[in-house]
Chain A
Amino acid sequence: MATLHGWRAARVTPLGELYTPPRITAAVLRLTVQIVLVASLWHGLYAHTGTTAGLTRDQAVTYAVLAVLASRLRELDQYAARDTVVQHLHYGTIVYWYLRPLPPHRYYALRALGEQLYGFAWALTGYVICLAAGVVEPPGSAAVTGVFALSLLLGQWVLYYVMLLIDQLCFWTLRNDAAIMILIFAQNLLSGVYAPLWFFPDWFLTLSAFLPFQATLSVPLSLYVGRIPLSDAGAQLALQAAWVVALSLVTRFLWRRAARRVVSQGG
């Protein structure tokens, strides 16, 4: 089993980032600007009202800022590192994924785990600063903190599978640029990064309920700000877990099919 030390492959992306200081500077600047703008926007929107869509100003700002921080978890520049699946297929280097004792699906998962942990360090640092600066509210109770952490973990797991699905598409389509653009927009819109989902009309919420996106961010953030009460947390966590299981089955099937496509796609 190559996983004994193979787990260290998780360091690939964080190391690449650390060896490229301009990317770190850019991340700091971008995150700062985004948080300042988002906080200002929601403060502005609540300037003449105390509560909108059942949410207070502080809840709304907390939600929006946490959404910006959480989206940082998987926003690393793999394209610049020439380490995306589409690039490996384009350059024919994907064959090496199939020539190592660490199977491609496990390598992909480990690499994603490293990214996620690196992104988490950023998000946590940003959260602590925002909390200290009073930009975000602390969670309502220890129980909320625990449920939020579990829900965030499941949400990131769902997001991992959604992104994997898009990457697996490349084995058949060769390109996934359009799919990624749609994914980023859909993910940000339907997971509530742009705006909390309760601001949208009912038909939109119904549509969103059939897609995995709200399980990624909307659910954990809603639990954090109290929009979803703790009494409903069990059902929401179960739904997130169901998405994890369903997507893991689909992606496992696609990995097997993708192995047959390796050679014809530039291998």
Chain B
Amino acid sequence: MIGSIEVRGLSRTFHTTVRRPGFTGALRSLVNPERAVKHAVSDITFDVSQGELLALLGPNGAGKSTTIKMLTGILTPTSGEARVAGVVPYRERERNARNIGAVFGQRTQLWWDLPVRESFAILRDIYEVPRAEHAARLREFDDILELSTFWDTRVRHLSLGQRVRCDLAAALLHDPMVVFLDEPTIGMDVVVKEQVREFLRHQVEERGRTVLLTTHDMTEVERLAERVVLINHGRLVLDGTLDEIRRRFGSTWQVRATLADPHTPVGPLPGIVLVRRDGPQVVFGPDGPAAPTVHTALKLVIERYEVTGVAVDEADLEDVMRAAYVHANAEAV
């Protein structure tokens, strides 16, 4: 498909030199270097449809950035194949460059000493965007990102939030079909984050761009992505919708109850474990994979015990992903 991403069995292995500790070790490493093999990405397969926003998640060092670098054409895979908007990115770098836009965290592509508008104009020339089209697109971006309040300022004088908004605009000025965003909102305040999210939503829903996003911000994932690919130790652990992931890893609810009689003996219920007790205050949690849903658990607690008050804590996406990471780590071991 025109704006889609296809990844098939993608792998990347790095060969590094192991530095031995201490002075003697350093000398030995110089004379007789010890080589090590690191599988940054191993046999990853997934697709992103045109107009879809996919969150590529994983703990630090999981292989997310290496994957993005292969998809942007910066890095050639050791094996496997990838197509971005029908182009093999690492074979046709220049052709691929016209189809994609990218933002890498806090690394700006703008020229430090120039006003933002000059940077935009240089990118317009590099990508050969007609002037009228460039102006119209800038107006569109300005409506959401409010760039005009600072686009005559030199980049070195911008705040982080202003700079990232400009970088987002710079990445999309040539109207790319596919956009790669590697932790774009890292270090930004909540107001700017929301502005960026609105901008991304607009680009996906109204402009039909395909977006591959990596982030550690689960609020961002919740607000933007319907589908998530989770990788860990370079391997794909999970590919599914947020609902599926919640079902699989989200059973970290707690039911808090206040017993009418503080001396009532309390024991486990089917699939439910007593987490702690403090007088009349009892807290129940899920017990293993056969645990019921939070609603069933609540029903069971109320039916079994006479309670004067009850409250439910459901895990947010952050907890769900934490559980997924722990699960992935356990599987890797």
Contacts and interface: CB of A to CB of B under 8 A. Distances in A.
Contacts of A95: 69, 72, 74, 102, 104, 107
A6 interface: yes
B118 interface: yes
A172 to B, nearest CB: 14
A224 B104 CA distance: 50
B112 A83 contact: yes
B177 to A, nearest CB: 14
Contact of B69 (A8, A81, A263): A263
A91 interface: yes
Contacts of B156: 82
B113 A20 contact: yes
Nearest to A262: B74
Contact of B125 (A9, A80, A263, A267): A9
Given A93-B108, A101-B127, A9 B74 contact: no
Interface residues of B, number: 32
A96 interface: yes
A101 B107 contact: no
A94 B247 CA distance: 42
Nearest to B93: A98
Residue from the set B74, B115, B127 with the largest chain A CB neighbour count within 10 Å: B74
Contacts of A262: 74-75
A2 interface: yes
A4 B100 CA distance: 20
A263 B104 CA distance: 13
Contacts of A16: 111-114
B127 to A, nearest CB: 6
Contacts of A264: 14
Given A12-B114, A81-B113, A2 B128 contact: yes
A229 to B, nearest CB: 45
A96 B109 contact: yes
B73 interface: yes
A15 interface: yes
A81 B155 CA distance: 10
Contacts of B107: 91-93, 95-96
B113 A267 contact: no
A241 interface: no
B98 interface: yes
B122 A12 contact: yes
Given A4-B128, A100-B127, A9 B113 contact: no
Given A2-B128, A83-B112, A263-B75, A92 B97 contact: no
Contacts of B97: 99-101
A225 to B, nearest CB: 37
A99 B75 CA distance: 11
A19 B115 contact: yes
Interface in A152-184: none
A102 interface: yes
A208 B63 CA distance: 50
Contacts of B108: 93
Contacts of B125: 5-9
A83 B109 contact: no
A168 to B, nearest CB: 17
Contacts of A81: 111-113
B154 interface: yes
A6 B113 contact: no
A210 to B, nearest CB: 31
A22 to B, nearest CB: 12
B315 to A, nearest CB: 35
A130 to B, nearest CB: 30
A227 interface: no
B104 A92 contact: yes
Contacts of A20: 113
Given A12-B114, A19-B115, A81-B112, A99 B126 contact: no
Interface string B85-98: 00000000110011
Interface in A67-116: 80-83, 91-93, 95-96, 98-103, 107
Interface in A232-264: 262-264
Q: Which of A5, A91, A103, A262 has the most CB of B within 10 A?
A: A5
Nearest to A91: B107
Contact of B118 (A5, A7, A15, A98): A15
Contacts of A57: none
Contact of B94 (A2, A12, A82, A96): A2
Interface string B2-42: 00000000000010000000000000000000000000000
B312 to A, nearest CB: 45
B69 A82 contact: no
Interface of B: 14, 66, 69, 72-75, 93-94, 97-98, 100, 102, 104, 107-109, 111-115, 118, 122-128, 154, 156
Interface of A: 2, 4-9, 11-12, 15-16, 19-20, 80-83, 91-93, 95-96, 98-103, 107, 262-264, 267
Given A101-B127, A102-B126, 4 more contacts: A12-B111, A92-B104, A101-B94, A101-B97
30 contacts: A2-B94, A4-B128, A5-B124, A6-B128, A8-B125, A9-B126, A11-B122, A12-B122, A15-B114, A15-B118, A16-B111, A16-B114, A19-B113, A81-B113, A82-B156, A83-B111, A95-B69, A95-B74, A96-B109, A98-B74, A98-B93, A100-B126, A100-B127, A101-B97, A101-B128, A102-B126, A263-B69, A263-B74, A267-B69, A267-B74
